[in-house]
Structure 1
């Protein structure tokens, strides 16, 4: 097997899953990785495991370097099964290993696998002496589960960042500078938007802690390892975590007989006329997680739907439910759409926007049946005025 070293004493022993295309509702067209790292010092330490179907691959990679029975410590930074479900298989090969994790992690591992190992609960400031290097533990609760933790290896100056700084991307090259950095940053943005967006305050706190550490390498639990573009991705996390936005407006809609679509395109034209970048998505064909990636830095969000049964179309209901869970910050929004004998979609969208934390400061626009020339002009002005409001907020 191909052996990859992060440093003199740290090895990559994870697995690349080229085939997964859905990660609990988040599309992964470039696949997924389950990253695990082996530290071979005076003591041997495994940082996280992998998803259960890849347990043998993990053990094979470890066996190339050292007998798994010689593992002294296993760090469980996060109990979600993509990180921990190979733990029972690893423990069968290394039954003497001590498992280090947070208190929430200990409770979660016992509940997930109905097994109790030799646990050592760690808290912030705790240090594990491996010999030449020491491993420092930093719990980061709700980034993005209560049990989440990151750890830092002195000497080698490696941050094992768990789900922070991750990306869902499969590649034969393990480091950022060996890959197309634009693809890596694109997937990092999509990852943040769909997984970490609700936890911006915790992200800012975590990044502030990292400023105190000399970091040569960031080794996340998913995607490539950062060694060249660390300032770039840390700056991105600061920007996203603070809820900052750009002069971009996302228009997401669905249409029953084409009237709402005509409105959407005319609104987009008004946005463009104001000098603002707009992007248009029809949700019956668009990838929701890609839309959310664009929403992350957008200053404005416009949601449109035809009215169906006094409410919005199902495709728009799914998007709004997803947005409500992610709770993006620093954004202004409005609704639009066409209806037949009675409306309802616009009010439903506005209520969901408010629940998602999006400021609804401008009345939306709705019309009956098919837009006439005057109504098309109204849509254009609506888009232009909304764009001006977004510009004023940047």
Structure 2
């Protein structure tokens, strides 16, 4: 059964939903699956915007044929050469022998890196485009804008002048299969989709905030009425709301005045201390507090919450004289993904030599614009009764810093 949906009168979604894949990029858990979006433009000339993962090739070819309604395909536009979007290029070029493939110079080079291009006479069928080039297909004029490192070097996005659509490549994407609901206004996006959108951005695109800002500046010059990403829902309403999220994330600005407490606890004692802190913060009026066990929570979830929250508490056991390994992994990811502009408070634990606080401090100093609060809690085995005043002062400095500038 072919599965398509109309985006506009002459633009059709012909992508696929993948609910069998457990890990996106073999890294990130996707319990809600993921969509691979592809779009067909029906004009005097026909256009296919990107393809899908090779695991969905049969369904995809059926969807494209159904969307074309018996017509041939004139152009395949390749905006991004990651295999979840380029996996069926060869299939499409074989199925439509008159089609030309359009992409940036780097994208066309990458096709030859992934595939034996001799099977579809690629040399004669490739059309390189650069910043500012256009392609007219009849009533549609497509403008190509280069978006290098959002999040691969060959990436471009495409603006359709007629329907005022930004085909956004991996920008504005999110994890999650569509479940028949193509548009963001057909779901409760903020409740059901925003956490996965944030997790997608923070972990996949998050390192490239400068490049995302450059793309947002280009997009600001266009009259965009719809955003068609390669993953997740299409935006036709409230675009400004989601663009503002991307603006904040790419400037590494906290989304919420909130506290995320991440603890690494071996036998539960560091966890208990973190619980005590959470109780004190709540008593002092902090409403948005989240707690996560670094050993049980996937690092992509932790990174997402650190992107969301203004204040981070790292509560960590000392292990073999060093940082508890899952916490060390989180710190490496924070550095790799350019986490910055956050306030961090530390709680350390060590039965005979509490070293984790000092070592975490050194790791945080390698990151940009991390404000480390002066007071830390150092625990020997357990947080004993009698340290209530110290814990209260530790919580109070977090509260006062949150209130600073309000």
Task: Tell me which of 51, 54, 57 is aligned to 2:53.
Answer: 51
CA distance in 2, matches of 1:157, 1:251: 43
Residue matched to 1:99 = 101
Task: Tell me which of 195, 202, 226 is aligned to 1:193.
Answer: 202
Pairing of 1:61-100 with structure 2 (within 5 A): 61-66=63-68, 70-100=72-102
CA distance in 1, matches of 2:316, 2:195: 28
Contact 1:13 1:38 in 2 (8 A): yes
Residue matched to 2:218 = 209
Structure 1 residue 389 and structure 2 residue 401: aligned?
Answer: yes
Aligned residues: 394
C-alpha displacement of 1:176: 1.2
**SS of residue paired to 2:212:** helix
Residue matched to 1:326 = 337
CA distance in 2, matches of 1:204, 1:275: 35
1:179-230, CA deviations, whole angstroms, 9 ceiling, x for partnerless residues? Answer: 2222133322222222222222222222222222222221100011111231
Residue matched to 2:252 = 243
Residue matched to 1:128 = 135
Contact 1:334 1:350 in 2 (8 A): no
Residue matched to 1:141 = 148
Structure 2 unmatched runs, 5+: none
Residue matched to 1:22 = 23
Contact 1:367 1:375 in 2 (8 A): no
C-alpha displacement of 1:6: 0.8
Contact 2:4 2:15 in 1 (8 A): no
Contact 1:338 1:367 in 2 (8 A): yes
CA distance in 2, matches of 1:363, 1:32: 43
Distance 1:224 1:15, change over 3 A: same
1:96-129, CA deviations, whole angstroms, 9 ceiling, x for partnerless residues? Answer: 3221112221222211224262322211101011
Contact 2:14 2:67 in 1 (8 A): no
Residue matched to 1:369 = 381
Contact 1:303 1:334 in 2 (8 A): yes
1:306-344, CA deviations, whole angstroms, 9 ceiling, x for partnerless residues? Answer: 111111222212222222211122112132221022232
4+ aligned runs moved over 4 Å, structure 1:
none
Distance 1:76 1:219, change over 3 A: same
Over aligned residue pairs, what C-alpha RMSD do you find? 2.0
Residue matched to 1:346 = 357
1:146-204, CA deviations, whole angstroms, 9 ceiling, x for partnerless residues? Answer: 11111011111111011111111112111112222221333222222222222222222
C-alpha displacement of 1:365: 2.3
Q: TM-score, structure 2 length as denominator? A: 0.91
Contact 1:134 1:155 in 2 (8 A): yes
Pairing of 1:146-165 with structure 2 (within 5 A): 146-165=153-172
CA distance in 1, matches of 2:3, 2:205: 32
Residue matched to 2:262 = 252
Residue matched to 2:4 = 3
Contact 1:69 1:94 in 2 (8 A): no
Residue matched to 1:263 = 273
Q: TM-score, structure 1 length as denominator? A: 0.94
Comparing 32-41 and 335-344, the one that deviates more = 335-344
Contact 1:274 1:388 in 2 (8 A): no
**SS of residue paired to 2:222:** coil
**SS of residue paired to 2:393:** helix
CA distance in 2, matches of 1:112, 1:375: 61
CA distance in 2, matches of 1:75, 1:232: 28
Residue matched to 1:232 = 241
CA distance in 2, matches of 1:35, 1:5: 13
Contact 2:36 2:231 in 1 (8 A): yes
CA distance in 2, matches of 1:160, 1:311: 47
1:246-268, CA deviations, whole angstroms, 9 ceiling, x for partnerless residues? Answer: 32111101111222112211222
Contact 1:21 1:31 in 2 (8 A): yes
